[in-house]
Chain A
Amino acid sequence: MSLPRRAFVLGGHLTSFIGKKHPDFLWKGHPEFGQRENPALEDYITMAVRGALAATGTPGELVQKSWIGNFAGELFNNQGHLGAALPGADPGLMFKPAMRVEGACASGGLAFASAVESIRAGTDITLVAGAEVQTTATARQGGDFLARASHYRRQRGLDDFTFPALFARRTKAIYAQGDITEDDTALVSVKAYANANKNPLAHMKAVGMSFDTARTASDANPAFLGNADLAPYLKVSDCSQVSDGGAAMIVVSEAGLAKLGKRPEDAVEILSIEVATGNLYEDGDLFSMPVTAAAAARAYAAAGLRPEDIQIGEVHDCFSVTELLIYEALGFAAKGRGGTLIRDGVTQIGGRLPINTGGGLIGFGHPVGATGVKQVLEVCRQMKGECGAYQVPGQPTVGITANMGGDDKTAVVSILRHA
């Protein structure tokens, strides 16, 4: 999709992403247990939306349309109809169009794409939010809820933890091929945790991860799948987090910037955004991410750019092997060569192409509906030099996001530039 009307991310707000192992997450042994409760879904939506409006100086009354990404509010929180939750965050949103968007883990990215489409069609000021609260369910319940993003009837029986099993199946095949090794996937986890340790908003900000721990299954880092055939190929350290959190941002046109008294230099321009979809009912290629690659190819074409023009990225590392496959899907490495980037330090914060600088889904956390929005805001924050301890040296000015739903079934790729 090319953009005849220019579109910009003015800014936004991220809540902390929390869950097990986060110091603020309440559990039975927590000293504050019983004195307060973990924030609920509506709290995250409210915090994110109010924060985004305040951070950008956008009165709610000026927002014309809103979208919210959320995957499974009905299952985790007994709450659907989240478009109508947005006016609860700010009365200025009352009587305006607002809707919830669902595309599994790409829900936030789809909400973003919807807003950009709207800007292109003539809207000037929009709000994009994303939120998910998953810690209301046990790990096993949560695994069942999240399995709704797979072809449930056919794939649910693979394991109690359907998605970990689906990606363990990929990992097994890829290891057998020999291009990507256990060392490479372990290095993805080490990078994610190390970056998260520098990020005050990250779920895993207080948990370290050594290469030795990440590399080999142990009591400290178990291979948890019940499917004996797949269990050796996935450990806890390879997985994204079951997190709670919210994110929101203001997406505007040039006229929208003017209405808010801002200039293009105050914002980040969206050069292109593309959505691609695969067939939910069939297994894809185990060795690649063709749906993500299709979205990326169109995004590059619409932006007039090539992979080598990208200076920073946020990609969907739902599992460690996924990050490496997305390196390949985005054209950063040839097929089967994604491991070389992590091995050579290219994608570290000080590398040539830093990826997932705040910790990604493994380290920063993965509140499903918020993730696609968070990815965009993270690239914007890096471009504006706002990332503190994990700031990329010399602010990057051209970036990419890749948000994926299911096992490469929905993909949203955007290319952004510092305006």
Chain B
Amino acid sequence: MNRNLLLGGAAVVGIFAALIVFRSPNTGGAVPDVRPAVTASPDEPSPTRLHGSADGEGSRAVGDKVGPPRPESVAMSERRLQNDAMLVGMESSAWTLIKREIARVDNPASKAFMDEASELIRGLRDARLSPDNADVPALQARQKDIRDRMRTAGVTTGVIEEQFKRLDDLEKRYPLGASGPVTTPAPAGATPVPPSENP
């Protein structure tokens, strides 16, 4: 009987000790949510720094709410949708693949062409971002020159030739000299997908 009491007592003490030792860490109360009030009233604009230094110098204030886009953003967006900007953007993609393919061509001239492709891609990328500061016709001529020399040197593959054809198609799709936003229809067979909630 005494032995049973002793065992029972030991079990109670053990459970109690376990509760103390293995209790959950006290790390505070429940997590509050960000209040919906954070969506500020349009009547109570709170300036937000999105540009400039951390101390606010040179900063440009914008409102809390997503309002109409800034005029300079609209202008830039429209500019980047012009044919010349779209053309160089798409061409940079083609050259990205061409450059990777050049690396697979066992030819002493491959390395030099890879370097040329890298420089060209940088030029195309910069032209896409700032078309007004770029000489897009010169970039077109430069591409043709590199293509001709690659073929002459035998630095080509099926994939590269496919991308050369793609470059020709892009020039037709985004003709230089045409003004206004791109209106050229999608290539035959493509299914245009309007912006929607279901990509």
Contacts and interface: CB of A to CB of B under 8 A. Distances in A.
17 contacts: A12-B199, A159-B25, A159-B27, A160-B24, A207-B39, A208-B40, A208-B64, A209-B34, A220-B35, A227-B27, A265-B187, A339-B54, A350-B77, A386-B194, A386-B199, A394-B89, A398-B92
B90 to A, nearest CB: 6
A418 B93 contact: yes
Contact of A377 (B28, B46, B199): B199
Given A306-B118, A381-B199, A388-B195, A183 B25 contact: no
A220 B37 contact: yes
B172 interface: no
B121 A309 contact: yes
B128 A13 contact: no
A396 interface: yes
Nearest to A180: B54
Given A21-B34, A220-B34, A271-B97, A304 B66 contact: no
B49 to A, nearest CB: 6
A222 B32 CA distance: 7
B interface bracket (residues with beta carbon within 8 Å of A)? 35 or more
Per CB-CB distance, the 6 closest pairs between chain A and chain B, nearest first, are A226-B27, A394-B80, A226-B28, A388-B195, A397-B93, A393-B77
Interface in A303-326: 303-306, 308-309, 311
A304 B89 contact: no
A21 B36 CA distance: 7
A207 B199 CA distance: 23
Q: Which of B47, B103, B199 has the most CB of A within 10 A?
A: B199
B99 A211 contact: no
Interface in B159-199: 159, 162, 166, 187, 189-191, 193-199
A43 to B, nearest CB: 15
A51 B25 CA distance: 44
A224 interface: yes
A183 B54 contact: yes
Nearest to A249: B199
Interface residues of A, number: 86
Interface in B64-121: 64-66, 73, 76-81, 85-86, 89-90, 92-93, 96-97, 99-100, 103, 114, 118, 121
A84 to B, nearest CB: 26
B1 interface: no
B27 A391 contact: no
A378 to B, nearest CB: 8
A395 to B, nearest CB: 6
Nearest to A47: B198
B38 A213 contact: yes
Interface in B1-39: 24-39
Interface of B: 24-40, 46-54, 64-66, 73, 76-81, 85-86, 89-90, 92-93, 96-97, 99-100, 103, 114, 118, 121-122, 125, 128-129, 159, 162, 166, 187, 189-191, 193-199
Contacts of B34: 21, 207, 209, 220-221, 236-237
B80 A393 contact: yes
Nearest to B34: A236
A269 interface: yes
A398 B96 contact: yes
A46 interface: no
A11 B199 CA distance: 8
B195 A157 contact: no
A225 B27 contact: yes
Contacts of B121: 309
A417 interface: yes
Nearest to A399: B93
A71 B49 CA distance: 37
A129 interface: no
B197 A16 contact: yes
Given A393-B80, A394-B86, A208 B97 contact: no
Contacts of B65: 208
Contacts of B114: 304
A265 B80 contact: no
A184 B33 contact: no
A402 interface: no
A309 to B, nearest CB: 6
Contacts of B35: 219-220
Given A160-B25, A161-B31, A348-B50, A394 B128 contact: yes
Contacts of A396: 89
A114 interface: no
